[in-house]
Amino acid sequence: MESSSIVSQPGPQYHKVLIAGVVSSALTLLAVYFLNKTDLQVMDYWVDGMIPIGLLLAGMMAGSGYGIASFVTGTKITKNLLWIIVGLQFFSYFAAKYIEFHSQNLVYKDSQLPISFWDYTDTMTRSFSFVQDNGKQGGEFGVWGYGMLALEVAGFCVGGLVAPLILRSRLYCESCQVYMKNALLMLIPASLAEKKFKKTETEARAEHDRLHDETLKKGDEVQKTLREQAQVNHPEEFKQALEAYRADQKAILKLPVYVQVNLSHCPHCRNGIVGASVVAGKGENRKTTGLWSQAVQPGFVEMFKPSVKI
């Protein structure tokens, strides 16, 4: 009998991702426990009374294991896996609160009997209040404290999703079950450097605007040409068009508008996706807008070995 030619593919390694996340959550809760022993209630820090920054940071630390394991094992972050992570983060939040409660050894004043965790949670939730600008404690929230509790839980869960969501946004090779590696190939100018003119320098301003329009037009033409070359699988011409800008990369990076050309590739099969996006603005106002993306074959990726580090 002939042996079968069917080769089984490795299935999703969700259990490794979940175990890693549970471990990072346990380590985070252990750190919270020891910090609580020093009277440093890190999970009680809020910003402007609406942002539970302490819980967000703790959630990020607790959920870091999910992201690390996903990247190392090549396990894709799916919607179902995200929901499981949310559930585990929800459980971890109350585990952290229990550790906070247990570290205080609280008892009822009259009977000296230990306070239950649920009574502690209800009391702390209803007595929630903020310190006012004058340094005095504000009024208790009462039943509305459960709204703040919901914000706390949401903050911890959202923090735990940061690393998984970052990975989920990355390109993924379905056939090899690994995340693609990304490489910046080149920056292409799409504007001139900003320059201020006096009111009397009308001719200089007009010339600057003319050159700016030419640069913008040329940048647009180049990115369209690159797309055509990628579509017809001409890596030599594609690379040659990029090389014209290599010497000016630092200067282009400072321009208010430029085109960014990237290549994502699978380290196993070496198939890839090349794409261009326009970057406009500066600092916090900088915005990146995708222009196009094109699947390319291993031969295309091979042309950029120094850049993509195959």
Q: Provide the pLDDT confidence category of residue 5 given band limits of 50, 70 and 90.
A: very low
Name the average pLDDT for the chain.
84
241-252 residue pLDDT tens? 999 898 889 999
For CA atoms 221, 226, 232, 235, give the dihedral sign.
Answer: positive
Give the lowest-confidence range in 126-140, 150-164, 273-287. Answer: 126-140
State residue 1's pLDDT score.
Answer: 41
Domains of the chain by residue range: 14-169, 178-308
Asked if residue 3 has pLDDT above 60, the reply is no
Q: pLDDT category, 136, cuts 50, 70, 90?
A: low
Q: Both tokens of residue 261?
A: 């050309």
pLDDT for the residue 57: 87
On the 0-12 / 13-18 / 19+ scale of CB atoms within 10 A, 93 is: buried
Contact indicator for 40, 52 with CB cutoff of 8 Å: no
- pLDDT on residue 191: 92
Write the pLDDT tens digit of every residue in 219-239.
999 999 999 999 999 999 999
Longest dimension (CA), the chain: 92
**Would the pTM count as exceeding 0.75?**
no
Q: According to the model, what pLDDT value does residue 137 have? A: 61
pLDDT value at position 310? 47
Quick: pLDDT tens for 29-88: 888 778 777 777 666 677 766 677 888 888 899 889 999 999 888 888 888 899 999 999
Which sign does the torsion angle of CA 150, 151, 156, 161 carry? positive
pLDDT tens digits, 140-180? 778 887 888 888 888 888 888 998 998 888 889 988 888 99
**pLDDT: which is higher, 203 or 136:** 203
DSSP assignments along 25-94, one per residue:
HHHHHHHHHHHHHTT--GGG--BTTTB-HHHHHHHHHHHHHHHHHHHHHT----HHHHHHHHHHHHHHHH
Which alpha helices (DSSP H) does 133-201 contain, by range? 145-168
Q: Is pLDDT at 8 greater than 50 in this prediction?
A: no
